[in-house]
Amino acid sequence: MKILVCISVVPDTTSKITLDSSNTHINSEGLTFIVGPYDDYALSRAIEIKEQNQAELVVLHVGTSDSEALIRKCLALGADSAVRIDTAALDSYQVAQEIIHYTQDKSFDLIMMGKEAIDYNSGIIHALVAHGLGFNHFSPVMHADYDGGQLTLEIETDLGKSKVSSTLPAVLGCQEPIAEWKIPSMRGIMTARTKEIAVIAPSKTNFESQITAHVVETERLQKMIPVENAESLIDILKSENLI
């Protein structure tokens, strides 16, 4: 069995986002980057499934060499090897195309991702990859068990929650409480040093879309209504078609 986990590298959730001097891009200086929290859940569960099934586990990231330390951390947690597709991740659609291109001829059985990357919040890469490869697709997945060639999953739907069974190959978008986040052991950190991070050229270098503007902190009006006139809030909300 071959498992692939795709990870995003994103600013820590509590980061204050600022712009660089061009006013179009996020200033990455002073930001702490982490493996996407949902991706971390996916990886943790993938490691458990790998151990139960003697599977091979590969971690994939589309991004620049800045992310190597975090990829190394995934190897320390228990992934066998890693692949980095060497291009800046600009957009979920682009990342999905790169993942599809790479995985097409690799016969992975199970691809696990986070339900969404917390930077661009698209929540779409797992679906695009699944449909691109013709794999089964489920997201968000809260529990995943693999036994006797069958996946048993607890998923959220627009209508509530469901328990389903599915066959491989499949792509899962994961969220808590699918597994507990893991901490690398000393031994894991040592062995990770000798594991391979393959760097692969992207399939597409010129992407059709381009970032033209970034605006930080959605502006809020910050209008105060004196408590004596609290009722006037209702009129304001009505006049703005909010209620």
Partner 1 sequence: MKNLAIFIDSKNGLITESSKRLLDFASNWSFQNGSESIYVYGFELVSSDMLSTYSSIKQYTHIKIPDLVNHSQVITPLLEEIQQKGISQFFYVKSLLMDTIASSLANKLAIPLISNVLKVEKVSAGFHMTKSVFSGKATLTTEIKSESFLVAFSKSFSMELLSNPGNSSVGQTEITLGKDIQNKLIENHPLTGSIPLPDAAIVVGAGRGFKDPSNWGIVEDLAKELGAATACSKPVSDLNWRPHHEHVGQTGVKIAPKLYIACGISGAIQHLAGVNGSRKIVVINNDSEAPFFKHADYGIVGDVFDVLPRLLNKLKSH
Ligand X SMILES: Nc1ncnc2c1ncn2[C@@H]1O[C@H](COP(=O)(O)O)[C@@H](O)[C@H]1O
Q: What angle do CA 39, 105, 145 make, to 5 degrees?
A: 40
Question: Residue 88 or 237: which CB sits closer to ligand X?
Answer: 88
Amino acid type, 32: T
Residue 208: other Cβ atoms inside 10 A: 8
Q: Which does 211 bind (CB under 5 to 8 A by kind): ligand X, partner 1, none?
A: partner 1
Contact 153, 164 (CB under 8 A): yes
Contact 98, 73 (CB under 8 A): no
Question: Residue 105 or 226: which CB sits closer to partner 1?
Answer: 226
Exposed e or buried b for every residue in 209-233, given b needs 16+ CB within 10 A? Answer: eeeeeeeeeeeeeeeeeeeeeeeee
Residue 161 in tokens: 């929650």
Taking the complex as a whole, the smallest distance from the CB of residue 54 to ligand X amounts, in Å, to 24
Given candidates 44, 67, 92, 103, which one binds partner 1 under the rule CB under 8 A? 92
CA distance 201 to 221: 46
Contact letters for partner 1, residues 163-202 (x by CB under 8 A) = xxxxx--------x--------------------------
Taking the complex as a whole, the smallest distance from the CB of residue 242 to ligand X amounts, in Å, to 28
Number of chain positions touching ligand X (CB under 6 A): 24
Taking the complex as a whole, the smallest distance from the CB of residue 65 to partner 1 amounts, in Å, to 23
104: contact with partner 1 by CB under 8 A: no
Which residues in this chain contact partner 1 in the complex, by CB under 8 A? 11, 13-14, 17, 26, 91-93, 118-124, 127-128, 130-132, 134-140, 152, 156-167, 176, 208-218, 220-227, 230-231, 233-234, 236-237, 240-243
